[in-house]
Amino acid sequence: MSTPSPVETLSRHELADLQLTKLRQAVDRALSTSHYQAKLAGCGIACGEDLKTLADLRKLPFTVKDDLRQAFPDGLKAVPQSEVVRMHASSGTTGIPTVIYYTRADIDRWTELGARSAAATGCTSADVFQNMMSYGLFTGGLGLHYAAERLGMMVIPAGGGNTQRQLKLMKDFGTTVVHATPSYLLHVYDQLAEFGVDRKDLKLQRAFVGAEPHTEDIRCRLEALWGIQVFNSYGLSEMNGPGVAFECVHRAGMHLWEDAYLMEIIDPDTGEVLPEGAEGELVLTILDRQATPLLRYRTRDLTSIIAEPCACGRTHRRIRRIKGRSDDMLIINGVNVFPSQIEEVVMKTAGVGSNYQILVKKDGALDSLIVRLELDAPHFSDDMRDLEALRSRIAGNLMTSISLKPKVELHEPGFLPVSEGKAVRVIDERPTLPEGPEGSCP
């Protein structure tokens, strides 16, 4: 078992001092952006030094996803372009993506947090790390890629999908650790026999799972099926990506790296900060990032804080597994999708009406997304090929917008219920399993 680095075991008092110093710097950086200059006007904080204690954080307004949309593309950029070395983007609620910039130091810090996370699970430079998350604008791929290299593991940058190739890589290179969504990891297991791979020929010992909410039951199933340890991972692109919070070897909640992030739990309806241990929406302030500072960012993820000390000796508090969302965002095979993105595409597409329904269900271990639309009567051509072409054109447009190819169904006008609210338009048939406490696998 690895020894935590000194910063992971600071006393709570030392940690608080460090946080206050960093928070003041973060506020100063934020105030160098046009967005925060306007947003912080009138809250009584004109510079970082105006924060006397950590509790003064509450004087600052929340930052929400829509702020990033309004600041697009550069309203939240706190450094000159020449200092930016990378950007990542995630889906916005409409066509405008949520963009985060990184300086070299930002990438370095993110990498360090990821390496620290992987080390906390017991990984060492002897491990072989196969990254099954998609590379690209999505942070799930590149984030842990560099972190694993930093720790000295050999990285297999497999990316998402192509199960047959994943299994071949695992076998050929003796993969000991994988990073995947829990549903994909179940899917890979289901495919072992299909591709003629014997579990005994694989050296897998650990899996990092994240990007989608899952239950303790799923973790236990994965651990039992594969005979491995499964570690829960938390991250979001607005807070860099994976490596925000990670489970240690005790697998009983995720240590949130409090030297890098300030966490609060709020009531999503009132915005009131809730006492430690209460369940609510996680609000995060990123302390070190230079290029895109974000203060009190509402993650919309629902969880609670575990304040009890962990047996591993780390003093950074843990969060429980994410229970769900406080908005209507859907997580489909690890990809974040807002119904409003789908609506936007539907409204712009000729040949179908404006009424739609979104159905999400399980197809084996994986999620499947079905978008139901009504044919626009004047576009009925009597030729099946025209209808199939319309169907695939819409699927293609949706793919461009949400990075996920849905199955598009065409229905008779008037078939879909006319919905009065968004909830009726989204039907999520994925089973919700009973929730066990963290670390309850037999």
Pick from 372, 390, 394, 398: which binds another protein (CB under 8 A)? 372
Contact between 409 and another protein by CB under 8 A: the answer reads: yes
Give the C-alpha separation, 369 to 361, whole Å.
Answer: 7
Residue span 374-393 as binding mask against another protein, x where in contact by CB under 8 A, dash where not: -x-x--xxxxxx-x------
Pick from 161, 396, 413, 437: which binds another protein (CB under 8 A)? 413
When the beta carbons of 223 and 409 are compared against another protein, the nearer one is 409
User: What is the identity of the amino acid at 112?
Assistant: E
**Sequence-ordered list of residues with C-beta below 8 angstroms from that of 211, at least 6 positions apart, any chain:** 133, 140, 181, 242, 331, 334
**Sequence-ordered list of residues with C-beta below 8 angstroms from that of 135, at least 6 positions apart, any chain:** 141, 142, 145, 157, 159
When the beta carbons of 128 and 398 are compared against another protein, the nearer one is 398
**Sequence-ordered list of residues with C-beta below 8 angstroms from that of 405, at least 6 positions apart, any chain:** 395, 398, 399
When the beta carbons of 224 and 377 are compared against another protein, the nearer one is 377
Give the C-alpha separation, 207 to 228, whole Å.
Answer: 7
When the beta carbons of 14 and 376 are compared against another protein, the nearer one is 376
Give the C-alpha separation, 45 to 331, whole Å.
Answer: 36
Distance of closest approach, residue 329 Cβ to another protein, in angstroms: 26
When the beta carbons of 269 and 383 are compared against another protein, the nearer one is 383
The 8-class DSSP code of residue 420 comes to S
Q: What is the largest CA-CA distance in the chain?
A: 73
Give the C-alpha separation, 410 to 367, whole Å.
Answer: 20
When the beta carbons of 3 and 354 are compared against another protein, the nearer one is 354
Residue span 37-66 as binding mask against another protein, x where in contact by CB under 8 A, dash where not: ------------------------------
Contact between 417 and another protein by CB under 8 A: the answer reads: no
Residue span 316-355 as binding mask against another protein, x where in contact by CB under 8 A, dash where not: ----------------------------------------
Helix (H) or strand (E) holding 426: strand 426-428
Pick from 18, 84, 359, 410: which binds another protein (CB under 8 A)? 410
Question: How far does the chain reach from its first CA to its final CA, in angstroms?
Answer: 21
Contact between 441 and another protein by CB under 8 A: the answer reads: no
When the beta carbons of 377 and 423 are compared against another protein, the nearer one is 377
Contact between 412 and another protein by CB under 8 A: the answer reads: yes
373, 342 Cβ separation under 8 angstroms: no
Q: Name the residues that contact another protein, by CB under 8 A.
A: 372, 375, 377, 380-385, 387, 409-415
